[in-house]
Structure 1
Amino acid sequence: MDSGKQLTGTLAFAVFTAALGSLQYGYSLGVINAPQKVIEKHYGRSLGVWTERTTVLPENSTEEEELPEVGDDPAVVIYWSLSVAIFSIGGMLSSFLVGFVGDLKGRVKGMLMVNVLAVAAGLLMGLCKMWKPHIMVISGRAVMGFYCGLTSGLVPMYIGEIAPKAYRGALGTLHQLAIVIGILISQVAGLDFLLGNDDMWPLLLGLSGAPAVLQTLLLPLCPESPRYLYILLGKEQEAQKSLCRLRGPYDTTSDLEEMRREKEEADKEPRILIFSLIRSSVYRQQLFVALMMHLSQQLSGINAIFYYSTAIFAQAGVSQPVYATIGVGVINTVFTMVSVALVDRAGRRNLTLIGLGGMCCCAITMTVGLALQNQFIWMTYVSMSAIFLFVSFFEIGPGPIPWFIVAELFSQGPRPAALALAGCCNWTSNFIIGMTFSYIQVWLGCYVFLLFAALLFCFTVFTYLRVPETKGKTFEEIAAVFHKGRKIPQQIPRDHSELQQLKTSTDA
């Protein structure tokens, strides 16, 4: 085997270090849910709600008895909702800056710079009892969301550029694996007897910034992206050294030649910014596919499933629904590992089709179970099974693949802008689902998942018709697929002049 295609210790170290940012993203996503009641109580104290209400309580009343009323206070509800929503708003705003930060000083230094935000956010939340908890937590969540919006683009960009072609899918999936592991860690750490209690909840939130500290220590040891060094900076010798550090001693001629052609292509057109990418007819098909894949991830109903799972487990007689929810998190992690193992064998397109189609069937099964659970007790267990299968199908394809396939669909020039747009699309749709699902649920009742089933069917058809297979293809070959047609051509143009002629004829 060509040593340039092997997994080396340096490559594994670099991917692990980058994925720490994804772990932090996942932890921040899940950490706010478990200690909700405890945090609401402290918000009430800070706002004066607790003091006002406890003054009229009988002497034998306890704080725990008053907790639900404090949580229902309009001021507490507003500040709690803002604590949750501000995270997505920060991510939406910063996702537009992914390309700028990644190109400013490089991928590695870019990730290193933004860690300042994560540490600051962790300190704001960890020390929130020193001032007004609601102000400190909301500020920390906003800063952390801003950080996560950047790292959700920088990590797939870096991993996609340093990974050998044969392992690009498996290594790219590690971004999603780190996210779900982070969510699972936050769920476990948020248990009442660990950190999700009255005394330790600030530490639980503050630990959101812990992976950034470790990543800051490790990033200086990671090689910079060879594609960034060669294509953007024109430093061929440094790019060659970086390739050898990442993949071991091997003949770098073919990789450097591919980057040389890509650089020539990028030098012939002006720098591609976000608005230029939106207007460009050359990249319109790639951009449409990228955005639709991110929409399919968020509009699949996965967040709604997590939102509704605790109630279903409670109806099924599970005495501790929180542990069942953690079980969903474990399945989340296990099947992401399955995707890591399969993505470079089965292919991105096939796994996405299997995942979306399976989720569609599960959503229909879920609807049937919810509609008939009052008539047949065993239907509740059908709904529970549908939840576990839904999550499994999500992590096989629609969960991890959209994050890294964007880096595969675009060459070096438009890649940062494409990742920024895809990230913004992902964060925005996530925010919309989070804000509207409760209203849609009231409107549609137990048939709410039919809406997601219809969306999943549409996304499945789109993937079948429009998404090409990128497994084992160079960036140049993938670009040629879109210029030549939607199907993989039998003869991929290898020569730069042939590809340029193909582009010219397509534009004409």
Structure 2
Amino acid sequence: VNSKATVTGTFVLSVFTAVLGSLEFGYNIGVINAPQKMIEQDYNATWLQRYGEPIPSGTLTSLWSLSVAIFSIGGMLSAFCLGFVSEWLGRRKAMLINNLFAFIGGSLMALSKLCRSFEMMILGRFIIGAYCGLASGLTPMYVGEIAPTSLRGALGTLHQLAIVTGILIAQILGLEVLLGSQELWPVLLGLTVVPTVLQMSFLPFCPESPRFLYIVRCQEHQAKRGEQEVGDMLAEMKEEKRKMEMERKVSILELFRSPLYRQPIIISILLQLSQQLSGINAIFYYSTSIFIKAGVQSPVYATIGAGVINCAFTVVSLFLIERMGRRTLHMLGLGGMCICAVIMTMALALLDSVPWMSYICMLSIFGFVAFFEVGPGPIPWFFVAELFSQGPRPAAMAVAGFSNWTANFIIGMGFQYVADLCGPYVFLIFAVLLLFFLIFTFFRVPETRGKTFDQIAANFNERSVGGMMDMDMDMDLDKPSTELDYLGEESIN
């Protein structure tokens, strides 16, 4: 595809508008960290006003943990509905209606102090979590479907870039001198409605995904109108549609039952787990306390430093992804993180006896974040979109999203307890997990760079073990596979 011909004003507007959802997702991950003490004081004041006594510390811890973790529960539930919603409403309308969740959630959080209600705060976090669960699937799905093959990787990375930019904006605005103060924290939480209003204003001017229009809704005329680079794209979509007419809509259960989809869905789930169980969220949720332990003078600014590195290396990944390939970058990221986790453990363990280890500790945290953004950050999200054709894609996205949010919830709830138990050795657990994911990626994950959805499917045929001798004629990657076997793959038992 001639990428220059494809990048039109409408295309740029569509991608920008879609990733506003990812920006908001990132903002809501990062926003809760800084004002923790202020919000806890308000919970206490509310309790005092209602019951005439200070809040018991156990109750306060539970309420705070719930405020943080209910976000992931909202995300888990809505991510599971992603397939149904994106098919029923279409990608664009689903993004538009999803903004209502963000608006309601943001408003509830912003007004919770005024109304003296921690219930409003918790409900707001749940609703904004539901928004983020849908946005985290709809954005990469929409961007992946409107992007030409040659730009799909780089544009897929924009989803992650917007997330980390959102986290960084939240960290900076959360400084006490800005909005992280006792009076202004409701404004900090309420600001999440700004990207919502922007996205709602721009979406009517964006086209629906031509892949969705042509393949799901069978509206060839509309799809052509929404697609500038008609020739190559339409040929690819026609081939995909022909395949899809042979394959039924795939339910979530079928993804696991059918030998055709089992390997790709296991790969998708493990890639999502490699993102969340790498330990990155442990660093983001508790970075300030980790930096205090490491003896850093201004831990808040060190956390913002980690946020800046996060953004910088996402941009690096943007340029590398079409040159080096998805699989290579993912392995590079996992390997680098594993080494940094081991160094961090050693530095934290030696901190009391060797004071200058605090610098090593900081450097290894920064390295950990940098390697995350090269591989496990951006890559799992659009691998799912690339491993599945239109038939099973929505169900696969829902399963992958659900796995991601569930792992996120487990880390959010469990890390503090495990850290208290293991002390400085907590990151060794992550190092072992990273090593496992690295080995898995090396042996099981195919390269998808520059291939059409069809060729990726044929690649699975080639890798399949067992029968299927009659499909030998289809193994040439340059020729689209013609059997009923989209992603055909004998189960490896």
Displacement of 1:345 in angstroms is: 0.9
Displacement of 1:183 in angstroms is: 0.5
Aligned equivalents of 2:334, 2:489: Cα separation in 1: 35
Q: Which amino acid aligns with 1:120?
A: I
TM-score normalised according to structure 1 size: 0.91
Tell me if structure 2 keeps the 8 A contact 1:173–1:340.
yes
Q: Say if 2:226 is the partner of 1:242.
A: yes
1:261 corresponds to which of 235, 239, 242: 239
Tell me if structure 1 keeps the 8 A contact 2:294–2:348.
no
Secondary structure, aligned partner of 2:32:
coil
Equivalent residues in 2 for 1:133-282, closer than 5 Å: 133-244=117-228, 247=229, 252-282=230-260
Q: Which amino acid aligns with 2:188?
A: L
Could you say which residue in structure 1 is the equivalent of 2:469?
none
Q: Say if 2:330 is the partner of 1:346.
A: no
* Most deviating of 36-45 and 301-310: 301-310
Aligned equivalents of 2:278, 2:486: Cα separation in 1: 36
Aligned equivalents of 1:451, 1:125: Cα separation in 2: 35
Aligned equivalents of 1:15, 1:263: Cα separation in 2: 24
Displacement of 1:83 in angstroms is: 0.8
Displacement of 1:478 in angstroms is: 0.5
Could you say which residue in structure 1 is the equivalent of 2:431?
453
2:271 corresponds to which of 289, 293, 306: 293
Could you say which residue in structure 2 is the equivalent of 1:367?
345
Number of equivalenced pairs = 484
Tell me if structure 2 keeps the 8 A contact 1:480–1:493.
no
Equivalent residues in 2 for 1:479-498, closer than 5 Å: 479-485=457-463, 491-492=476-477, 494-497=479-482
Q: Say if 2:398 is the partner of 1:426.
A: no
Aligned equivalents of 1:319, 1:366: Cα separation in 2: 18
Q: Which runs of 5+ in 1 are unaligned?
A: 54-69
2:356 corresponds to which of 378, 383, 392: 378
Aligned equivalents of 1:294, 1:133: Cα separation in 2: 35
- Encode CA deviations 1:302-349: one digit per residue, 9 max, x unaligned: 122234532343345433210110110010011011111111111101
Q: Which amino acid aligns with 2:287?
A: S
* Most deviating of 93-102 and 254-263: 254-263
Displacement of 1:502 in angstroms is: 8.7
Secondary structure, aligned partner of 1:223:
coil
Could you say which residue in structure 2 is the equivalent of 1:58?
none
Could you say which residue in structure 2 is the equivalent of 1:14?
14
Change (3 A) 1:301 1:72: farther
Change (3 A) 1:73 1:222: same
Q: Say if 2:60 is the partner of 1:76.
A: yes
- Encode CA deviations 1:405-443: one digit per residue, 9 max, x unaligned: 110111111111111000000000011111111222222
Equivalent residues in 2 for 1:294-309, closer than 5 Å: 294-309=272-287
Aligned equivalents of 1:176, 1:463: Cα separation in 2: 20
Displacement of 1:46 in angstroms is: 1.0
Q: Say if 2:80 is the partner of 1:96.
A: yes
- Encode CA deviations 1:186-225: one digit per residue, 9 max, x unaligned: 1111111111111111111111222111000000111111
Equivalent residues in 2 for 1:44-59, closer than 5 Å: 44-48=44-48, 52=52
Secondary structure, aligned partner of 1:224:
coil
- Encode CA deviations 1:343-393: one digit per residue, 9 max, x unaligned: 111110110010000001001101111111122112221111100000000
Could you say which residue in structure 1 is the equivalent of 2:470?
none
Tell me if structure 2 keeps the 8 A contact 1:373–1:379.
yes
Could you say which residue in structure 1 is the equivalent of 2:36?
36
Aligned equivalents of 1:295, 1:417: Cα separation in 2: 17
- Encode CA deviations 1:134-158: one digit per residue, 9 max, x unaligned: 0111111010001110110000100
Tell me if structure 1 keeps the 8 A contact 2:348–2:361.
yes
**Identity in percent:** 54
Q: Which amino acid aligns with 2:179?
A: L
Tell me if structure 2 keeps the 8 A contact 1:40–1:71.
no
Change (3 A) 1:305 1:127: closer
Secondary structure, aligned partner of 1:282:
helix
Q: Which runs of 5+ in 2 are unaligned?
A: 466-473
Could you say which residue in structure 2 is the equivalent of 1:60?
none
Secondary structure, aligned partner of 1:283:
helix
Could you say which residue in structure 1 is the equivalent of 2:468?
none
